[in-house]
Amino acid sequence: MLNRSTVFNFKIFYRQIAYVPKHKPPDHRDVEILKDFLAKHEKVLVLTGAGISTESGIPDYRSEEVGLYARSNHKPIQYQEFIKYPKKGKVTSIITQNVDRLHHKAGSTNIIELHGSGYIVKCLKCPYEVSRTELQEVLMRNNPHMESNFGMVRPDGDVDLTKEQESSFRTPLCPKCESPLKPDIIFFGDNVPKARVEQVRSQVSACDAIFALGTSLTVYSSYRIILQAKEENKIVAILNIGPTRADDIIDIKVSTKCGDILPELCNAL
């Protein structure tokens, strides 16, 4: 007989399967190649993308057959429209393209959120900011009739609203200056702040190798990290299901699920 815990675990397992593209199991030779890569380098910068989050049940956009681009005609909101694997001290920093703060929850430190965080909401005009959790309470108080619409998980937090719901939606404004509020996320079409770009460049220069996990490097803000690394003669390894934008310039490429290979790598160090 299924109990509540079993059903919950099944749902989590199903979500993980549903959002992870087809992939081959890890090859023993691939594991050994990555073990050797990590053993040879003492200052490894880790770059992560959506492939880390999809294995935790959070969908991405681009994955073949399972990403939102493939499963629907949903497209991400444009900025203009809006206007845990610690590797024995080898990891100098983690640069993540994700906005879900899973690395923080896993206990990682020295994290640069390249595209910001979905956990903070900021005013577009003044310094006011608020936690996404607190703002959600305001949203629900203002729009109690839309509670059922907040069930669909999407990479950028979008939900579908009918024309009627959209016209009646009560949007919270900044309590300080009554200007629009925006999640602290770099939306498609927006630019990464210059200070953050320089912080990333500094971390790339300080490392001696880059290990990219679960990213196709389609977005230029992440791809230029690899370009800089190769210009500085750094060794780059990529662990990702499917092709990436940098496959023709990197040193090591392993195509399989991150969760199937990272635990073994960590245990070996």
> Tokens 């199903």 map to which residue?
14
- The catalytic position among 41, 104, 115, 145 is 115
Q: What's the token pair of residue 142?
A: 């203002």
Beta-sheet strands, E only, within the chain: 44-48, 91-96, 111-113, 116-123, 129-131, 181-185, 209-213, 235-239, 252-254
Pick out the chain residues at pLDDT < 70: 1-23, 54-86, 88, 148-158, 269
Q: What is the pLDDT of residues 197-219, one digit of tens each?
A: 999 999 999 999 999 999 999 99
Compute the distance between CA of residue 121 and CA of residue 129 in angstroms, rounded to an integer: 6
Crossing angle for the helix pair 28-40 and 258-268, nearest 10 degrees? 50
Q: Catalytic site residue 145?
A: no
Q: What pLDDT is stored for residue 15 in this prediction?
A: 42
pLDDT at 147: 72
pTM equals: 0.76
**166 Cα distance to chain centroid:** 28
Domains of the chain with CATH codes: 14-115+192-269 (3.40.50.1220), 118-185 (no CATH)
| Dihedral angle over CA of 54, 60, 62, 66, nearest 10 | 60
Torsion sign across C-alpha atoms 249, 251, 255, 261: negative
